[in-house]
Amino acid sequence: MTIEETPLLALEDATQKAHDALYDRFSRSRKRSIVGVVSWAGLLPMFVSQSFVPAIPQIAREFHSTGPVINLAVSLSILTAALANLLWARYSGFYGRRPIYLFSFPLLCIGSLGTAAAQDVPQLMIWRTVQAFGASSGMSVGAAVIGDIYRLEERGTAIGVFFAACLLGPALAPPVGGLVAYYASWRVMQLALFSAGLSALLMVVFFLPETIHPDVQGLQRYLREKGRGDKKWVWVWLNPFSSLWILRSPNVMAVTLANTFVLITDFVLLIPLAYTIGVRYNIKNEALIGAFFLPAGLGNVIGAPLGGSISDKVVAKWRAKRKGEWVPEDRLRATTIGSLVLVPMSILLSGLITEFVDGTPGIVLNLVCLFFNGIGIDTVLSPSSAYYVDVLHKQSAEVMAASGGFRSVAVALTAAGVLPLINTIGVAATNALSAVLAWLGFVQVPITFRR
């Protein structure tokens, strides 16, 4: 017998089937292949920025400059990446994910060759900008691809795995960059980045299909609205800064602030490492300085999938408590331990240890602090990134770029100012200030999910 609700139920069932079909387009093995490609793409921006840090003293000597001046190349590349991310994300929602990779990676290759051939500081700055511009598509577009192919209940774990692979960069890039700088030259590392960019380009060409959902891609909608359905491609000027309007959302802004204050601790610890731990314990070998980044990177690799997996379980738990009602902010509950304990305590203790503990015990304890800081940071970033994709799925690349851009500007300012601040007030006081900021970030998250 037909009742009043029957058409509505049929419509709901048809809608659910259409929704499921979007995530069933690719087999499980194909999804893993796609994750592998975008993870390699996401690893490259980390290598571009982090492999440069251990070589700063060597580059400063070669160009007859100073550490703080060469360190500006790090800040400049971070700032460039932030702005470029907005551009790539905006256009990835219009033209699709794949074309962005195909356009950006050649720029990475050109910038790497230019950096390797730089003869003075201005040339270095220019080519590092081009290099960072090309590499920066990896994180925001990669996270959007994950959101395209994985359902809500799988997304936190998948993004955690993606971030774990990407964050092999902080684990491997500094030691590799330090080894290459010490035994060969920092220029050789830039040639290696050219090869890595070329390999990523070829992987996209041969192994990455277009993943964007048809109802999300702006180009087809634009052609229909303009009555130009006979065309497959036209160039449209888009405003990359329009993504920043997403930050008007109090929830997105609060989570972005929390992530920013947490991430700042990473750069306060790692950017000046050659001038803090290196000087304090008389370590001048670039390879050894690079090795100090390994514990933080290892912590990142463990923390990213751990945080993503925990956030999926938290979502399922609270969804069951509410009898099937899904509240996106529940995912943020998984960030508490990292933002309240692991991140601020690790940087606070590292500053005190560097200031007051001599010799081998000081080195070992600092390594422990770096490890737990890495875990803590990514148990905050992974659930937060999955939350962004949950609440703004159709604008997943844009929200990742907007939040990432905000963080990157703050991090760029931190990278430029951390050495002068340490020279002025000391390591312990600088680290304590960063710990206080991390605790301020923690406060933002409970406010968000309680609202």
The amino acid sitting at 443 is: V
What pLDDT sits at residue 365?
94
Instruction: Find the range with the poorest average confidence among 151-155, 309-313, 442-446.
Output: 151-155
Mean local confidence (pLDDT), 219-224: 68
Q: What percent of the chain has pLDDT over 70?
A: 89
Structure confidence at residue 228 as a pLDDT band (50, 70, 90): low
Kindly tell me if the per-residue pLDDT of 304 is higher than 70. yes
**Which has the higher per-residue pLDDT, 248 or 72?**
248
Q: What is the mean pLDDT of the segment spanning 426-444? A: 92
The number of C-alpha atoms within 13 Å of 271 and in the hemisphere containing its C-beta is 30
The pLDDT of residue 218 is 65
For residue 266, pLDDT beyond 60: yes
The mean pLDDT value for 356-375 works out to 92
pLDDT tens-digit map of 233-263 = 777 778 878 778 888 888 889 999 998 999 8
> For residue 230, what pLDDT is reported?
57
> In angstroms, rounded to a whole number, what is the distance separating the alpha carbons of residues 26 and 3?
37
Q: Kindly state the average pLDDT of the residues 385-403.
A: 78
The distance from CA 442 to its chain's CA centroid, rounded to whole angstroms, is 19
Statement: residue 323 has pLDDT above 90: no
CB distance 309 to 382 below 8 Å: no
Task: Check residues 151 and 354 and name the one with the higher pLDDT.
Answer: 354
Does residue 102 register a pLDDT over 90?
yes
What ranges in 96-185 are assigned the alpha helix state H?
97-117, 121-135, 137-149, 152-166, 168-183
Which pLDDT does position 215 carry in this prediction?
Answer: 64
Percent of the chain having pLDDT more than 90? 25
- Return the higher-pLDDT residue of 323 and 430: 430
**How confident is the prediction for the chain on average, in pLDDT?**
83
- Say if residue 115's pLDDT is above 80: yes
Q: Are 118 and 186 in contact (CB under 8 A)?
A: no
Kindly give, in sequence order, each residue whose CB lies less than 8 Å from that of residue 401, ignoring residues fewer than 6 positions away: 85, 86, 88, 89, 90, 140, 243
Residue 273 CA to residue 289 CA, distance in Å, equals 7
- Each residue of 402-434: pLDDT tens digit? 887 788 778 778 877 888 888 889 999 999 999
Judged against a pLDDT cut of 90, whether residue 56 lies above it is answered with: no
- Domains of the chain from N-terminus onward: 25-209+239-450 (1.20.1250.20)
pLDDT score of 14: 56
Q: Which residues contact 353 (CB under 8 A, 6 or more apart)?
A: 362, 365, 366, 369
Q: What is the pLDDT of residue 38?
A: 92
Higher pLDDT, 196 or 172: 196
Gap between the Cα atoms of 73 and 127, Å rounded:
10
